[in-house]
Amino acid sequence: MQIVSLTTLLLLLTSFAAGQSPAQLDLTPMPSSVQSGKGKLLIKRSFSVAVSGYRDGTLDRGVQRFIAEVSHETGMRLDEPNVAENNAVLLIHAEHGRESAEKVGEDESYELTASGSDAKLTAPNPLGVLHGLQTFLQLITAGADGFSVPAVTIRDKPRFVWRGLLIDPARHFIPLNVLERNIDGMAAVKMNVLHLHLSDNEGFRVESKRFPKLQEMGSDGLYYTQEDIRHLVAYAHDRGIRVMPEFDIPAHSRSWFVGYPELASTPGTYRIEPGGVDTVMDPTQDRTYKFLEKFVAEMAKLFPDAYFHIGGDEVNGKPWDNNPKIQAFMHSHALKNNQDLQAYFNQHLEKIVSKHHKIMVGWDEVLRPDLPKNIVVQSWRGQESLATAAQQGYSGILSFGYYLDLMWPAAQHYSVDPMSGTASMLNSEEKARILGGEACMWGEWISPENLDSRLWPRTAAIAERLWSPQETQDVSSMYSRLENLSWRLEWLGLTHRSHEVPMLHRMAGVDDTSALRTLADVVEPVKDYARFEAVKGDWDFRAPLNRLVDAANPESNTARSFQQLVQQYIQSRFKDQGAEAEIRALLTEWRDNDGKLRPVLENSFLLREVIPLSEELSTLGGSGLAALDYLQKAEPARQPWRAQQISQLEAASMPKADLLLTVVTPVRQLVEATAAH
């Protein structure tokens, strides 16, 4: 995994202190064309909607949800929201219906115009209407005269046809209602694919009636019934979102073997637990394919989407190496290595999947020239492999750079473009094979309680990358719009902001959690795979997710604005008194925080591990304040003092309790600035 360096990242994060974005509408994702008009349309209790042209259930239900959301956003019940065409404030018009199958590449465009007196939303089909209604909702703001939508003409369509989010209920089960609210979030930012990673070593999460031991023995009792799935698919479809199932084989498949050990390459009994070398299907035996044939038949019917994801990643060949029968098979079939054997498996699997009228999707590793060109490759390894696939004639979607579980800041995901690097050199036919991308939220450290906070608002930055024109790149604008969107998402029922309060209270066991909140606001979970690397012994996939690292947001807003303030102060050559005062207030709060927080930390077994962080935050506050004093007095600090501060700051930059103190770098900048100025 290529990691963007810290320096690059800081540049990304601080560049917006310099950059100035033009006045623009608070929309995420940014539409492809916006023309501002004069005046605004007031949204009053008399606001009403009419639908002309084509209509169907999706459209009608979408309009009713829109009306409910207008009420929710404004706190107003509308007097008579549904009216005849001539009387409507907002007239909605779709030309024709959606394609009957859930197909990739349907027209999702729309045109929305608002004037001082009314508004009109037109689209070729209900999908565009759904997107346009989301845009309209985002345009509503409270102002001095009331709620209103600015006069505007928006012509909008997506840049990529595949804008997905992978959720992994295999590692930690995610209840249906949590999926539903996240589908609402996806719809709000115009994403259109929910990719469910339904099976892995730690759990098999969907009911098979044909092979009930899959979910019964392969889970802790938590799985989606077929009724749940039908409900979910309909729920998503109503919001313009396809649901693509993934059953990850031949590796990542231990949960299958608990009930059906005969599928494994290594004989024995299995229980659900994380990976290990022995969890690969046996691709050399007929019964594996007979099983898969029946299984795919059942699931292909349950999931109407045209795509069927078979995983295919991270196959550890050991069990194949160690099984003489498999070795003999490879020899007799001229399969030179394990990659050949996996390709053999995938060819058979692809025939099964095609037979049930589905297009097979797999991770990078499935890509082999011997597979038919209609399969789709999902790249977690990098943009290069996606470009290579496109050159070879395969369609692909990018997930490299979009792994939300790595706890990157939104700006870092935002900078990843499916068409950059090698892809930018592709010809237009090849480029057309790059369908889009998918944000991935792997579930190892996820619970229903913190899922939303790991998804939102960062997923919206990826949604914008995949929807908006390539030149939409202003990070400062992105962050400012994300903040507003974040509030709107809580109106939809997402809990990415509100989750933290009860989690902190659980840890603290006391009523006043304000000092803990101060610490929580400036820490972030460690990045990339550092949390796994810090695990001593085996990863305990049933471990409680009730630590500060589980509650802390992936990206600290406080740290980002502090970084900006320090930047601004330094650039002003220490003259900006406003910035100085704000910096001083924050540093003082941090310096004094440990005194308040310490008794709470000492009295909680869940919080004791963060005592060093709390101490360091106080020390760092003190260092920053001393540096500020030097800077204010225009008196250079002595080198030994600086050296001591910097050594403390370096210690403070080390992860503790799987958390990082995020304000070390700007404080260091202040300390370093005391050298001379």
CB 127 within 8 A of CB 95: no
Least distance from its own copies to the Cβ atom of residue 627, Å: 25
Eight-class DSSP state of 369: T
Is 45 a binding residue for its own copies by CB under 8 A? The answer is: yes
Based on CB atoms, which residue is closest to its own copies, 102 or 449? 449
CA dist., res. 78 & res. 318, Å (int): 65
Least distance from its own copies to the Cβ atom of residue 533, Å: 23
Based on CB atoms, which residue is closest to its own copies, 145 or 370? 145
Stretch that binds its own copies, among 113-121, 135-143, 333-341, 418-426 (CB under 8 A): 135-143
Based on CB atoms, which residue is closest to its own copies, 77 or 536? 77
Least distance from its own copies to the Cβ atom of residue 143, Å: 6
Q: What string marks each residue from 442 to 481 as x (binds its own copies by CB under 8 A) or -?
A: -----x-x--------------------------------
Is 546 a binding residue for its own copies by CB under 8 A? The answer is: yes
Least distance from its own copies to the Cβ atom of residue 443, Å: 13
CB 370 within 8 A of CB 346: no
Q: Which of 174, 199, 203, 216 is nearest to 273 (CA)?
A: 203
List active site positions.
314
CA dist., res. 122 & res. 334, Å (int): 59
Amino acid at residue number 160 = F
Stretch that binds its own copies, among 109-117, 360-368, 374-382, 486-494 (CB under 8 A): 486-494
Based on CB atoms, which residue is closest to its own copies, 57 or 175? 175
Q: Which of 380, 288, 375, 274 is nearest to 329 (CA)?
A: 288
Which residues inside 138-157 make contact with its own copies, applying CB under 8 A?
141-146
Q: Which of 358, 352, 327, 359 is nearest to 340 (CA)?
A: 327
Least distance from its own copies to the Cβ atom of residue 635, Å: 30
Based on CB atoms, which residue is closest to its own copies, 491 or 532? 491
CB 346 within 8 A of CB 368: yes
Least distance from its own copies to the Cβ atom of residue 52, Å: 23
Least distance from its own copies to the Cβ atom of residue 417, Å: 27
Q: Which of 9, 17, 606, 611 binds its own copies (CB under 8 A)?
A: 606
Stretch that binds its own copies, among 127-135, 158-166, 332-340, 483-491 (CB under 8 A): 483-491
Least distance from its own copies to the Cβ atom of residue 490, Å: 5
Eight-class DSSP state of 206: B
CA dist., res. 532 & res. 549, Å (int): 13
Is 544 a binding residue for its own copies by CB under 8 A? The answer is: yes
Taken in order 21, 25, 30, 35, is the CA torsion positive or negative? negative
Based on CB atoms, which residue is closest to its own copies, 370 or 511? 511
Is 604 a binding residue for its own copies by CB under 8 A? The answer is: yes
Based on CB atoms, which residue is closest to its own copies, 43 or 121? 43
Helix (H, G, I), strand (E, B) or coil at 50: strand
Is 73 a binding residue for its own copies by CB under 8 A? The answer is: yes
Is 179 a binding residue for its own copies by CB under 8 A? The answer is: no
Number of chain residues interacting with its own copies (CB under 8 A): 44
Is 6 a binding residue for its own copies by CB under 8 A? The answer is: no
Is 116 a binding residue for its own copies by CB under 8 A? The answer is: no
Is 52 a binding residue for its own copies by CB under 8 A? The answer is: no
Q: Which tokens sit at 343?
A: 């390709």
Sequence-separated (6 or more) residues with CB below 8 Å from residue 636:
630, 674, 675, 676, 677
Phi, psi (degrees; rounded to nearest 5) at 524: -135, 150
CA angle 534/537/541 to nearest 5° reads 80
Q: Which tokens sit at 53?
A: 């042209």
CA dist., res. 528 & res. 350, Å (int): 33
Based on CB atoms, which residue is closest to its own copies, 304 or 448? 448
Q: Which of 6, 72, 30 is nearest to 477 (CA)?
A: 30
Least distance from its own copies to the Cβ atom of residue 510, Å: 9
Based on CB atoms, which residue is closest to its own copies, 146 or 372? 146
Question: Helices (H) and strands (E) in the chain — how many of each?
Answer: 26, 18
Stretch that binds its own copies, among 33-41, 201-209, 526-534, 598-606 (CB under 8 A): 598-606
Is 79 a binding residue for its own copies by CB under 8 A? The answer is: yes
Task: Tell me the H-state helices in 122-175.
Answer: 126-139
CA dist., res. 675 & res. 476, Å (int): 30
Is 327 a binding residue for its own copies by CB under 8 A? The answer is: no
Based on CB atoms, which residue is closest to its own copies, 318 or 497? 497
CA dist., res. 284 & res. 302, Å (int): 28
Is 484 a binding residue for its own copies by CB under 8 A? The answer is: yes
CA dist., res. 233 & res. 179, Å (int): 11
E strand map for 119-257: 119-123, 141-142, 147-156, 162-167, 193-200, 203-204, 242-247
Phi, psi (degrees; rounded to nearest 5) at 145: -100, -10
Helix (H, G, I), strand (E, B) or coil at 503: helix
Q: Which of 85, 262, 538, 602 binds its own copies (CB under 8 A)?
A: 602
Q: What string marks each residue from 487 to 516 as x (binds its own copies by CB under 8 A) or -?
A: x--xx-----xx--xxx-xxxxx-x-----
Q: Which of 102, 550, 594, 658 binds its own copies (CB under 8 A)?
A: 550
Q: Which of 99, 262, 483, 650 binds its own copies (CB under 8 A)?
A: 483
Is 75 a binding residue for its own copies by CB under 8 A? The answer is: yes
Least distance from its own copies to the Cβ atom of residue 450, Å: 9
Q: Which tokens sit at 532?
A: 């796994």
Which residues inside 551-590 make contact with its own copies, applying CB under 8 A?
none
CA dist., res. 490 & res. 452, Å (int): 10
Least distance from its own copies to the Cβ atom of residue 499, Å: 9
CA dist., res. 631 & res. 396, Å (int): 53
Which residues inside 216-235 make contact with its own copies, applying CB under 8 A?
220
Cα dihedral value 24, 25, 29, 33, nearest 10: -70
| Residue ranges in contact with its own copies by CB under 8 A | 45, 72-77, 79, 141-146, 220, 447, 449, 483-484, 487, 490-491, 497-498, 501-503, 505-509, 511, 542, 544-546, 550, 602-606, 608
